[in-house]
Amino acid sequence: MLNAVDEKRCAMESWFQDQKFQHVKMRIREVSGVDPLDPNDDYHIKYDFDFDADNALAASVNIFISKDSYVGLYIKNALGFQAKVLSTRAILAILKIISDGNVFYKNPALKLKYLFKPKLFIKKTTYKFLVENDFPYLDVFLIFDDDQELSNIQKYEPWS
């Protein structure tokens, strides 16, 4: 039987392989000891995943799993959340909404782009999907009605 950390790693690898993405690469880095990329980190990272989309309009994502089973997620060039406790089901749900192109973003004004990160948005149906799949950190998203028109909001493209 796998421990919680390895269960999450295996689930993410299987999910990615099942999707058969042609234009997204998954890289996994196993870390032992202090993470050489971030030696001052408070978390002891066990696995570091990069999902890199070839399409610049699709979200590229970094997910790490700590040795204590905490999970951190960052949409590159946007934002995410610090390491939190996430179930395997919640991890796969967040990967699904990102890979399906169900995350929207709004960049800050150009003159402030170095001070603020983009804001992330999801539709109500996506919000409900995350709730149903035990994703507890919904405060990283702003929610809008499915039929609501938003100005100056871009949509991440689906992974292909």
pLDDT band, very low/low/confident/very high, at 47 (cuts 50, 70, 90): very high
The mean predicted confidence, pLDDT, of the chain is: 87
- Return the sign of the alpha-carbon dihedral for residues 19, 88, 56, 48: negative
pLDDT band, very low/low/confident/very high, at 54 (cuts 50, 70, 90): very high
Buried b (16+ CB within 10 A) or exposed e, 7-40: ebbebbeebbeeeebeebebeeeebeeebeeeee
Parse the chain into domains and list their residue ranges. 4-155
pLDDT band, very low/low/confident/very high, at 39 (cuts 50, 70, 90): low
d(CA 142, CA 123): 9
| 24 compared with 118, residue with greater pLDDT | 24
Q: Are 121 and 103 in contact (CB under 8 A)?
A: yes
Give the closest residue to 128 by CA, choosing from 83, 97, 87: 97
**Residues 108-150 pLDDT 10s:** 665 554 445 668 899 999 999 999 999 988 888 889 998 888 7
Percent of all residues in the chain with a pLDDT value above 90, rounded to a whole number: 57
| 85: its two tokens | 């406790």
Distance in Å from the first CA to the final CA of the chain: 33
β-pair partners for 71: 65, 84
Give the closest residue to 28 by CA, choosing from 42, 39, 43, 17: 17
- Its pTM stands at 0.88
pLDDT at 149: 80
Torsion of CA 126, 120, 138, 92, to 10 degrees: 60
Residue 155 phi/psi, 5-degree rounding, is -110, 130
